[in-house]
């Protein structure tokens, strides 16, 4: 299957600048989540950008108009220069958000991060029940370390968001997850349904929730949002496999966010490397401003000119931007079609088919690993 990329003349005006930069500092991570959003081919440490490269990228981002920087991975704390990176970002004037699994940061380093100007921490948990959490993460003892980390973050005075990735194997404990967020003093809870590309697609049959689970969870969230108003903000979005309208993925391709991967390639979305035929520029060769305006990968699906079929001329085209390209490709093999999450897509039934197939027994995940380092399955 080849992907047809929009060709034609280069833009003569610059698009409005991005508001967010997602910096994947490394793909290294001690955890092995079976839904990890990193690509199947993980970047090697030797290929990672240096401290000086990132410092330049952060300054370019701020100059371009980026407001918020999300330091992510892999596990960003696997980088020994994390404190220095936060300092560079803060000096550039960026709002810095650390997205972490929390298992590699001790009290001293958290204090250093706070002093370096870190604005906010987002901590991921795999479940509320420790054994289940550790099994899902493929990392014994991880959950207890996350709880200790959360307490250290709070005592360092940093605000934090708890991020819980939910799926069939933990959704029934959503009430406990909400209670955990409150107990740990989180100001926000993100209940994020797994998105199915890359590792998660390999594990989809183990992870897709049932309709009944989903309905219970949605009711529970609505109730908790009211009950804890002013104390805990709960973000929740209905997962695509049960949706009838697609989400404006990344706020629209090339409209809001840039992703820089560990090797310096600049992507319109963190999963964009799953799309065949796209060519990505790197920060080693070009400035972020140049890439934002001219990179072929950003031009490919920016705006509405690429749309065909149901999306073409649809009144929603400039609201949802045709949904997610990576999901369209993952489900249909064609990145140029309407996201099957849309009820107007001729492929909408594929979601039902996937839901019906997802009855694999608990266990037997394909854990995230670097090729050639296969460990025992859990």
Partner 1 sequence: MVPQFARGHRLHQDKARKRWVILAPERVFEPDEIAVEVLLLVDGVRTVDQIVDTLAEKFAAPREAIKVDVAAMLADLHDRQVLAG
Q: Is 97 one of the binding residues for partner 1 (CB under 8 A)?
A: yes
Q: Which of helix, strand or coil describes residue 358?
A: coil
At 65, list the tokens.
């108009």
Which residue of 23, 33, 92, 250 would you call a contact of ligand SF4, by CB under 6 A?
A: 33
In the list partner 1, ligand SF4, none, the entry touching 323 (Cβ below 5 to 8 angstroms by class) is: ligand SF4
Phi-psi region of 204 (alpha: psi -120 to 50; beta: other; left: phi over 0): alpha
Interface stretch with ligand SF4, choices 15-23, 73-81, 143-151, 325-333 (CB under 6 A): 73-81
231-260 mask for ligand SF4 (x: CB under 6 A)? ---------------x--------------
Q: Can you give the three-state secondary structure of 175-207, one letter per residue?
A: HHHHHHHHHHCCCEEEEEECCCCCHHHHCHHHH
Interface stretch with partner 1, choices 119-127, 140-148, 319-327, 364-372 (CB under 8 A): 119-127
At 32, list the tokens.
């092995």
Residue 194 contacts residue 200 (beta carbons within 8 Å):
yes
Which residue of 5, 19, 317, 350 would you call a contact of partner 1, by CB under 8 A?
A: 19
Q: Which residue, 34, 142, 131, 42, is CA-closest to 365?
A: 34
- Separation between Cα atoms, residue 87 and residue 41, nearest integer Å: 30
Q: Is 32 one of the binding residues for ligand SF4 (CB under 6 A)?
A: yes
Q: Which of helix, strand or coil describes residue 116?
A: helix
Interface stretch with partner 1, choices 152-160, 169-177, 267-275, 314-322 (CB under 8 A): 152-160
Interface with ligand SF4 (CB under 6 A), residue total: 25
Please state, in angstroms and as integers, the Cα–Cα distance from residue 69 to each residue in 21, 66, 177, following that order.
5, 8, 27
Q: Which residues bind partner 1 (CB under 8 A)?
A: 17, 19, 63-65, 67-68, 93, 95, 97, 119-120, 122, 157-159, 161, 187-188, 190, 230, 233, 235
Q: Which residues bind ligand SF4 (CB under 6 A)?
A: 29, 31-33, 36, 38, 73-75, 101, 124, 246, 310-311, 314, 316-317, 320, 322-323, 338-339, 342, 344, 368
């Amino acid at each position: 299957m080849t992907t047809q990329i929009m060709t034609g003349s280069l833009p003569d005006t610059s698009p409005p600048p991005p508001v967010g930069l997602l910096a994947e500092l490394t793909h290294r991570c001690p955890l092995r989540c079976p839904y990890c959003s990193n690509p199947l081919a993980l970047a090697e440490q030797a290929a990672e950008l240096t401290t000086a490269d990132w410092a330049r990228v952060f300054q370019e981002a701020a100059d371009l108009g980026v407001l918020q920087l999300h330091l992510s991975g892999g596990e960003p704390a696997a980088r020994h220069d994390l404190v220095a990176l936060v300092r560079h970002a803060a000096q550039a004037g960026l709002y810095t958000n650390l997205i972490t699994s929390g298992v590699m940061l001790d009290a001293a380093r958290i204090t250093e991060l706070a002093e370096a100007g870190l604005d906010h921490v987002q901590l991921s948990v795999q479940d509320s029940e420790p054994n289940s959490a550790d099994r899902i993460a493929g990392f014994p003892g991880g959950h207890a370390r996350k709880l200790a980390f959360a307490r250290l973050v709070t005592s360092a005075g940093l605000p934090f968001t708890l991020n819980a990735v939910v799926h069939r194997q933990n959704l029934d404990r959503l009430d406990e997850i909400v209670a955990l967020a409150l107990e740990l003093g989180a100001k926000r809870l993100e209940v994020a349904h797994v998105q199915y590309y890359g590792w998660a697609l390999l594990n989809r049959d183990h992870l897709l929730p049932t309709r009944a689970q989903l309905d219970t969870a949605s009711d529970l969230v609505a109730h908790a949002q009211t009950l804890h108003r002013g104390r805990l903000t709960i973000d929740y979005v209905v997962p695509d496999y049960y949706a009838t309208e697609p989400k404006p993925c990344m706020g629209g391709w090339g409209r809001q966010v840039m992703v820089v991967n560990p090797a310096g390639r600049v992507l319109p979305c963190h999963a964009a490397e799953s799309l065949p035929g796209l060519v990505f520029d790197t920060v080693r060769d070009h400035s972020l401003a140049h890439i934002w305006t001219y990179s072929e990968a950003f031009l490919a699906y920016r705006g509405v000119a690429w749309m065909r079929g149901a999306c073409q001329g649809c009144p929603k085209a400039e609201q949802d931007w045709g949904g997610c390209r990576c999901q369209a490709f993952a489900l249909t093999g064609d990145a140029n079609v309407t996201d099957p999450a849309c009820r107007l897509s001729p492929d909408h039934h594929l979601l039902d088919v996937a839901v019906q197939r997802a009855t694999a027994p608990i266990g037997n995940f394909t854990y995230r690993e670097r090729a050639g380092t296969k460990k025992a399955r859990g």
